[in-house]
């Protein structure tokens, strides 16, 4: 997790320095500290990437990680950071002070709460499909991927309904 946080922070800083212009697809509220929002998104990205990387079915359907949403979110967060007056140094200092043990525990609690088992890809696939169905923050970084371009209906696969809805 420590490396992921550093890489995310470096990507955020690099985007600020490169002067990237947001695509306009993600609009963030001007309110609230961007650092809290960045941390929340970073954790969601990490969980979504873990689900997509470990969902490997024998069938043609798996989970994909939405790199476009990832990039758009990073750009939107960068613009918000600049608007709030954060410099590259500020962001680097902030990233170095993050409590990595707490972030690691959050990921471990997610794994336990979703009953994910490494080496059992179906547990990751089902968890990812539920995140998509719930339209969660994590699910927003995932999509159902099929190597032949067929829809889930054509392949006889359904996304489970969120529990309690």
The CA-based dihedral angle spanning residues 161, 55, 100, 115, taken in that order and rounded to the nearest 10 degrees: 50
- Domain range summary for the chain, segments of one domain joined by +: 2-18+33-155
Residue-level pLDDT at 6: 56
Q: What is the pLDDT along the chain (165 residues), one digit of tens a residue?
A: 455 555 555 555 544 443 444 445 677 777 888 888 888 888 999 999 999 999 876 566 678 888 889 888 888 888 888 888 988 788 778 877 877 888 888 999 999 999 999 989 889 989 999 999 999 999 999 988 766 655 555 656 555 554 554
């Amino acid at each position: 997790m420590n490396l992921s946080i550093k890489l995310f922070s470096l990507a955020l800083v690099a985007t600020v320095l490169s002067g990237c212009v947001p695509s306009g697809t993600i609009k963030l509220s001007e309110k609230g500290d961007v650092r809290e929002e960045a941390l929340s998104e970073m954790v969601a990205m990490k969980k979504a990437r873990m689900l997509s990387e470990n969902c490997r079915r024998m069938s043609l359907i798996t989970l994909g990680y939405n790199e476009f949403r990832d990039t758009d979110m990073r750009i939107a967060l960068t613009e918000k950071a600049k608007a709030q007056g954060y410099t590259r140094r500020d962001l680097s200092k902030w990233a170095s002070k993050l409590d990595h043990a707490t972030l690691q525990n959050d990921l471990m609690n997610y794994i336990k709460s979703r009953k994910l088992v490494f080496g059992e890809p179906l547990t990751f696939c089902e968890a990812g499909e539920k995140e998509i169905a719930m339209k969660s923050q994590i699910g927003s970084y995932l999509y159902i991927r099929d190597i032949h371009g067929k829809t889930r209906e054509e392949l006889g696969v359904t996304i489970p309904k969120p529990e309690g809805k």
